[in-house]
């Protein structure tokens, strides 16, 4: 490790909270050249520990408290693991489809929130636009239609979650072996009346993201970008499947590193490295090793890794997306936004399909089986592949929990993006403006980690930046 | 008016009871809800939680144990008594480890429902986070989570008086007081059965049937739509 004692240090703290309290440190030499840039997640979350001793059926409800943004992901991943614990391999059609509806509702609302309220200020006004307008209030003032669409799309997804999980946040719908309710005709009809509008807005969102990417391709192509591996769940026929599938990893050129790996085998393919400066681990593909085996997850990885999308409009959008890189994986950090909106379109198409399926009104909700000691549940959360792994003893108490959350998988990529942006935009600059700092946030935000928090949506991302000289004296301090 | 009728007053309303009835029983019959936790229909009164405290002719009494008497003036729904009850419920919350957000009893829990009814949004006393509370999951159908026990003794009375088994009893004193089973250590070594009344009467999530969890969806739980006590108030003539 290089000697960093004599370097100047910029600290961005907190980047935000959620999933972990984050900060960015940038080390500069005498000429303000960037020597090192890191995103640290410095908060310790104890869920893997304090689920221990609890009865297994509590896991889907307890562990989802990790997060208030996409708790449905943890709820469903834990429920899938608990299906295995109670010896159930196949749910009833009603249970499977209710859970899928819940999941697509969540993807829809989470992506809509991110795109319209968290990311759009950067895309609409520019990375270094006046901070007074570069926020959701600014979007509402200048692009009222988009702000309203964001709110209404999020509401639609949240209502779907409420109808399937019982509550908009932290529901109880998915239980080991099934679901605790079906969808009433009244609930179904209340969604179907809005579905065409939601589809229309989703198409519009894809167009905004696509136009932004294509029109600014020259500028954003190098922005925080780098080649990487990509990991995603894939259906057996190669289709994108956000709720269930097998693992596929591809390299930056699209070559398969592994494919159709059963979820239960994940430990044979994925390992995690601990580094002493972050509480967040660094997962990597075992066969390649920690140096080069890191990978990206989330919308970009999923659109890159799948062979096709099984809904027509999203598939057409995917083809347009892949055409930009001649069918090869797209490795641009800023392309996450476009991929994310393709998933929004896919989710509303899937919800439309499901809502017209009479199985949702079925009454056969739960299957029982023979108890097993171990359960593994994976799914594609809005931010990427989510792993839940539990062991349960003969008294029905959890003895071990291992979670690999999406933001953890994107840890190394986000660090790379931060480093790249710091090198390209901050290195050598005599003055570090708020706009320059926002470039770093824009790169982090593209991954939609839990770090792009609600406070940012109000234009008050709580950033404090201190410029400290080699003796530790504060040279400058800025807060947004 | 028969000589077997006792007439008295609760909050200015004339109520009639019968000899041998408690104030709570007479109030229930008249459709007046007096909040309670340890009292349970069919079990002998215990008088320990003190939530059902009322004022009888100006003196505090537990209405689950105090017999009706001719002409008494009972105060139940007054701000003074409500505040007293809030404090008691509040103390029960902070004394244990009650995490409603993931407790499977949420929505069906009498302690939680009472807190909602009394307008408690968050405890005002500091949490004690006791570290000495254990979980006994040894039985294949039943588990005890001592973190959530409020020492109401319903299980003790139900096991003794209704199930004829004496599975549960109190041991320890003061902060160490807790429910124990009549075996060397674990529930599995007792003769408790999942169909026992003792398992059914727990007002909180301390004694639960296993593998049930969250089978009742939000919206269909006991207290999702009407506050605790509404069933009694619906009896009002």
Across A158-166, average pLDDT: 98
Q: Give how far Cα A3 sits from Cα of A24, A232, B74, Å.
A: 19, 38, 79
What pLDDT, on a 0 to 100 scale, did the predictor assign at position A46?
75
Q: What is the pLDDT of residues A382-409, one digit of tens each?
A: 999 999 999 999 999 999 998 888 888 8
What pLDDT, on a 0 to 100 scale, did the predictor assign at position A412?
87
pLDDT at A479 over 60: no
Q: Give how far Cα B145 sits from Cα of A33, A49, A304, B171, Å.
A: 58, 18, 47, 16
Q: Comparing A181-190, A336-345, B91-100, B176-185, which segment has the lowest mean pLDDT?
A: B176-185
Across B98-110, average pLDDT: 96
* A395 contacts B218? CB cut-off 8 A: no
Q: What is the pLDDT of residues A202-222, one digit of tens each?
A: 999 999 999 999 999 999 998
- The residues that bridge with B209 in the sheet, in sequence order, are B142
Higher pLDDT, A79 or A422: A79
Higher pLDDT, A276 or A247: A247
Q: Which residue intervals of A221-286 are DSSP H helices? A: 266-269
pLDDT at A418 over 90: no
What pLDDT, on a 0 to 100 scale, did the predictor assign at position A31?
81
**Residue count (chain B):** 237
pLDDT band at A18 (very low <50, low <70, confident <90, very high): very low
Q: Which two tokens stand for residue B32?
A: 């007046």
Distance of alpha carbon B152 from alpha carbon B109, whole angstroms: 13
Distance of alpha carbon A240 from alpha carbon A321, whole angstroms: 15
Higher pLDDT, A128 or A265: A265
What is the overall mean pLDDT for chain A? 88
Scan for tokens 């529930």, then name that residue.
Answer: B187
The answer to whether A439 and A219 have CB atoms below 8 angstroms apart is no
pLDDT at A438 over 90: no
Q: Which residues of B touch A175 (CB under 8 A)?
A: 213-215
Across B72-100, average pLDDT: 97
Domain residue ranges of chain A, discontinuous segments joined by +: 8-44+411-479, 47-171+186-366+402-409
CA-wise closest residue to B134 among B91, B167, B176: B176
CB within 8 A of A420, min separation 6: which ones?
A222, A223, A224, A225, A226, A443
* B218 contacts A172? CB cut-off 8 A: yes
The answer to whether B63 and B102 have CB atoms below 8 angstroms apart is no
Across B119-126, average pLDDT: 93
Q: Report the complex ipTM.
A: 0.93
What pLDDT, on a 0 to 100 scale, did the predictor assign at position A440?
84
Across A79-105, average pLDDT: 98
What pLDDT, on a 0 to 100 scale, did the predictor assign at position A278?
66
Across B132-161, average pLDDT: 96
Q: Which residues of B touch A50 (CB under 8 A)?
A: none
Share of chain A above pLDDT 90, in %: 61
pLDDT band at B93 (very low <50, low <70, confident <90, very high): very high
Q: What is the pLDDT of residues A182-201, one digit of tens each?
A: 999 999 999 999 999 999 99
Across A81-93, average pLDDT: 98
Is B6-77 a CATH 3.10.20.740 domain? yes
Scan for tokens 């641009």, then name that residue.
Answer: A332
* A61 contacts B138? CB cut-off 8 A: no
Interface residues from chain B to A (CB-CB < 8 Å): 101-102, 104, 135, 137-138, 143, 210-220
Q: Which residues of A touch B220 (CB under 8 A)?
A: 181
A47-171+186-366+402-409, what's its fold?
Cytochrome-c3 Hydrogenase; chain B (1.10.645)
pLDDT at A319 over 70: yes
CA-wise closest residue to B21 among B43, B36, B10, B6: B6
What is the overall mean pLDDT for chain B? 95
**Among partner residues A55, A65, A180, which is closest to B101 by beta-carbon distance?**
A65
A108-146 residues labelled b (16+ CB within 10 A) or e (exposed): bbbbbbbbbbbbbbbbbbebbbebebbbbebbbeebeeb
The answer to whether B151 and B177 have CB atoms below 8 angstroms apart is yes
CB within 8 A of A292, min separation 6: which ones?
none
pLDDT at A477 over 80: no
- Quick one: three-class SS letters along chain B? CCCCCEEEEECCEEEEECCCCEHHHHHHHCCCCCCCCCCCCCCCCCCCCCCCEEEECCEEEECCCCECCCCCEEECCCHHHHHHHHHHHHHHHHHCCCCCCCCCCCCCCHHHHHHHHHCCCCCCCCCCCCCCCCEECCCCCEEEEHHHCCCCCHHHHHHHHHCCCCCEEEECCHHHCEEEECCCCCHHHCCCCCCCHHHHCCCCCCEEECCCCCCCCCCCCCCCCCCCCHHHHCCCC
Half-sphere exposure of A187 (CA within 13 A, CB side): 20
Q: Give how far Cα B5 sits from Cα of B19, B71, B146, Å.
A: 7, 11, 43
Q: Which two tokens stand for residue A135?
A: 């926020």
B86-209, what's its fold?
Alpha-Beta Plaits (3.30.70)
Distance of alpha carbon A19 from alpha carbon A452, whole angstroms: 11
Distance of alpha carbon B53 from alpha carbon B36, whole angstroms: 9
Domain residue ranges of chain B, discontinuous segments joined by +: 6-77, 86-209
Question: Distance, in angstroms, between A162 CA and closest chain B CA?
Answer: 9
Closest chain B CA to residue A182: B217
Q: Which two tokens stand for residue B177?
A: 């007081």
- The residues that bridge with A476 in the sheet, in sequence order, are A467
Q: What is the pLDDT of residues B36-83, one digit of tens each?
A: 999 999 999 999 999 999 999 999 999 999 999 999 999 999 999 999
Closest chain A CA to residue B142: A395
Q: Which residues of A touch B213 (CB under 8 A)?
A: 55, 57-58, 61, 175-176
Q: What is the pLDDT of residues B185-210, one digit of tens each?
A: 799 999 999 999 999 999 999 999 99
CB within 8 A of A1, min separation 6: which ones?
none
∠ Cα B191 B195 B201 (to 5°): 100
């Amino acid at each position: 490790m290089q000697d960093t004692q004599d370097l100047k240090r910029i600290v961005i703290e907190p980047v935000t909270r959620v999933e972990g309290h984050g900060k960015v440190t940038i080390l500069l030499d005498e000429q303000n050249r960037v020597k090192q840039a890191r995103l640290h997640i410095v908060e310790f979350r104890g869920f893997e520990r304090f689920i221990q001793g609890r009865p297994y059926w509590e896991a889907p409800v307890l562990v989802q408290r990790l997060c208030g943004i996409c708790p449905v992901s943890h709820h469903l991943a834990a429920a899938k693991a608990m299906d295995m614990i109670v010896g159930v391999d196949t749910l009833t059609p009603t249970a499977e489809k209710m859970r899928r509806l819940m999941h697509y509702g969540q993807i829809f609302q989470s992506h809509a929130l991110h795109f319209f309220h968290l990311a759009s200020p950067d895309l609409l006004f520019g990375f270094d636009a006046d901070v007074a307008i570069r926020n959701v209030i600014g979007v509402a003032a200048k692009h009222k239609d988009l702000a309203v669409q964001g709110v209404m799309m999020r509401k639609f997804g949240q209502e779907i979650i409420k109808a399937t999980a019982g509550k908009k946040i932290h529901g109880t719908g998915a239980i080991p072996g099934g679901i605790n309710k079906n969808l009433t005709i009244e609930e179904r009809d209340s969604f179907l009346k809005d579905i065409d509008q939601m589809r229309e807005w989703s198409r519009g969102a894809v167009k905004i993201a696509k136009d932004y990417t294509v029109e600014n391709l020259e500028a954003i192509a190098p922005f925080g970008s780098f080649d990487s591996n990509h990991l995603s769940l894939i259906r057996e026929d190669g289709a994108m499947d956000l709720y269930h599938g097998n693992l596929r990893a591809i390299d930056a050129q699209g070559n398969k590193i592994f494919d159709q790996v059963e979820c239960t085998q994940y430990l044979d393919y994925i390992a995690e490295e601990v580094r002493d400066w972050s509480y967040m681990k660094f997962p990597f593909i075992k066969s390649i090793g920690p140096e080069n085996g890191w990978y990206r997850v989330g919308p970009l990885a999923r659109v890159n890794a799948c062979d096709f999308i099984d809904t027509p409009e999203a598939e057409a959008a995917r083809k347009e997306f892949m055409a930009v890189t001649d069918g090869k994986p797209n490795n641009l950090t800023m392309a996450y936004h476009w991929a994310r909106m393709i998933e929004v379109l896919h989710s509303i198409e899937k919800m439309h399909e499901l809502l017209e399926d009479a199985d949702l009104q079925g009454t056969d909700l739960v299957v029982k089986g023979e108890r097993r000691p171990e359960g593994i549940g994976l799914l594609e959360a809005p931010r990427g592949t989510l792993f839940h792994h539990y062991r349960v003893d003969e008294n029905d108490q959890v003895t071990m929990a291992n979670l690999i959350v999406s933001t953890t998988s994107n840890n190394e990529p986000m660090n790379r993006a931060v480093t790249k942006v710091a090198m390209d935009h901050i290195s050598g600059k005599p003055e570090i403006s708020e706009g320059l700092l926002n470039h770093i946030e824009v790169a982090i935000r593209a991954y939609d980690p839990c770090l792009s928090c609600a406070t940012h949506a109000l234009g008050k991302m709580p950033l404090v930046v201190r410029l400290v000289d080699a003796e530790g004296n504060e040279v400058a301090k800025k807060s947004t | 008016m028969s000589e077997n009728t006792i007439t008295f007053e609760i909050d200015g309303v004339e109520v009639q009871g019968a000899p041998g009835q408690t104030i709570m029983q007479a109030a229930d019959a008249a459709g007046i809800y007096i909040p309670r936790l340890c009292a349970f229909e069919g079990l002998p009164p215990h008088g320990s939680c003190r939530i059902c405290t009322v004022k009888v002719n100006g003196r505090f009494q537990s209405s689950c144990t105090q017999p009706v008497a001719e002409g008494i003036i009972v105060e139940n729904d007054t701000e003074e008594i409500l505040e007293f009850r809030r404090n008691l419920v509040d103390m029960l919350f902070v004394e244990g480890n009650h995490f409603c957000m993931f407790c499977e009893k949420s929505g069906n829990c009498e302690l939680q429902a009472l807190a909602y009814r009394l307008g408690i949004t968050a405890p005002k006393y500091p949490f004690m986070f006791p570290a000495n509370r254990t979980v006994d999951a040894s039985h294949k159908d039943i588990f005890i989570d001592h973190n959530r026990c409020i020492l109401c003794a319903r299980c003790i009375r139900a096991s003794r008086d209704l199930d004829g088994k004496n599975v549960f009893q109190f041991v320890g004193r003061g902060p160490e007081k807790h429910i124990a089973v009549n075996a060397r250590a674990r529930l599995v070594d007792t003769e408790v059965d999942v169909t026992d009344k003792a398992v059914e009467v727990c007002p909180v999530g301390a004694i639960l049937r296993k593998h049930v969890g969250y089978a009742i969806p939000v919206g269909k739980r006991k207290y999702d739509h009407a506050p605790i006590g509404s069933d009694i108030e619906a009896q009002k003539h």
